[in-house]
A and B are shown apart, each in its own frame.
Chain A
Amino acid sequence: DAKTTQPTSMDCAEGRAANLPCNHSTISGNEYVYWYRQIHSQGPQYIIHGLKNNETNEMASLIITEDRKSSTLILPHATLRDTAVYYCIVRLRSLRGANSKLTFGKGITLSVRP
């Protein structure tokens, strides 16, 4: 699996966009980028995933660079409830069995301030 590198922490003001970077310079052509977050005292929550095109859903947008060596998760209007640890994960999509496990690194702690 490609390794990911994320800053340890960042903060942003409530109502502003939060841009969370992730480096995955060793990503292979058929590996996807997945983002999860974990709010304190809760289980992780799936946010979004992508291969090479930018993706958007009701929670966030995912921007993947053309060379796919890095990506950015964008929360367009951060709220206090978005304070969490955000994990960037790179994996093949179609593995079966126990290889479907998710490997979470340390993630980036996002603090949204009032």
Chain B
Amino acid sequence: DVKVTQSSRYLVKRTGEKVFLECVQDMDHENMFWYRQDPGLGLRLIYFSYDVKMKEKGDIPEGYSVSREKKERFSLILESASTNQTSMYLCASSFRGPNSYEQYFGPGTRLTVT
């Protein structure tokens, strides 16, 4: 079975802190994604990576950056956390190409910024 793990299920940070969210997948997937999920807004794509060291902006990249140094690991960085970044963060992975919509999600990290 595909396994996507995220470093924390719950995280509480203060405004202005630098926050790292880690995601690891064990299926040798080329693609990795970071989404955030908010009530009434659904899932929104923050960043996407299709290979090591490659990244593309999603719909809402402002205030975030990412790092993909190894194929299995994709990190989301909040440079200076703000209260409007309080959300559920979901990592996903998939193979590249026609099967890219068969995405496998991690359990999510619920981040609260106070």
Q: Which of B43, B50, B58, B96 has the most CB of A within 10 A?
A: B43
Note all chain A residues with C-beta closer than 8 A to B100. 95-96, 100
Note all chain A residues with C-beta closer than 8 A to B74. none
Q: How many residues of B contact A (CB 8 A)?
A: 29
B55 (CB) vs chain A CBs: closest residue? A98
Note all chain B residues with C-beta closer than 8 A to A103. 42-43
Note all chain A residues with C-beta closer than 8 A to B90. 43-44
CB proximity of B95 to chain A, nearest CB, Å: 10
Given A97-B50, A98-B48, A101-B45: A46 and B102 within 8 A (CB)? yes
Mark out the residues of chain B between 91 and 106 whose CB falls within 8 Å of any chain A CB in the assembled complex. Answer: 91-92, 94, 96-98, 100-106
Contact with B along A21-34 (1 / 0, CB 8 A): 00000000000101
The dominant DSSP class at the A interface is: loop
Q: Which of B57, B91, B94, B103 has the most CB of A within 10 A?
A: B103
**Count of A-B contacts with CB under 8 A?**
70
Q: Does A105 contact B (CB under 8 A)?
A: yes
Interface size bucket, A side? 20 to 34
A45 (CB) vs chain B CBs: closest residue? B105
Assess whether A104 is in contact with B48, with CB atoms less than 8 Å apart: no
Question: Told that A44-B103, A96-B50, A102-B101 touch, could you supply 17 new A-B pairs with CB distance under 8 A?
Answer: A41-B107, A42-B108, A43-B4, A43-B91, A43-B92, A43-B108, A46-B102, A49-B101, A49-B102, A94-B98, A96-B96, A96-B100, A98-B57, A101-B48, A102-B92, A104-B43, A106-B42
- Could you tell me which A residues sit within 8 Å of B by CB distance? 32, 34, 41-46, 49, 89, 91, 93-98, 100-106
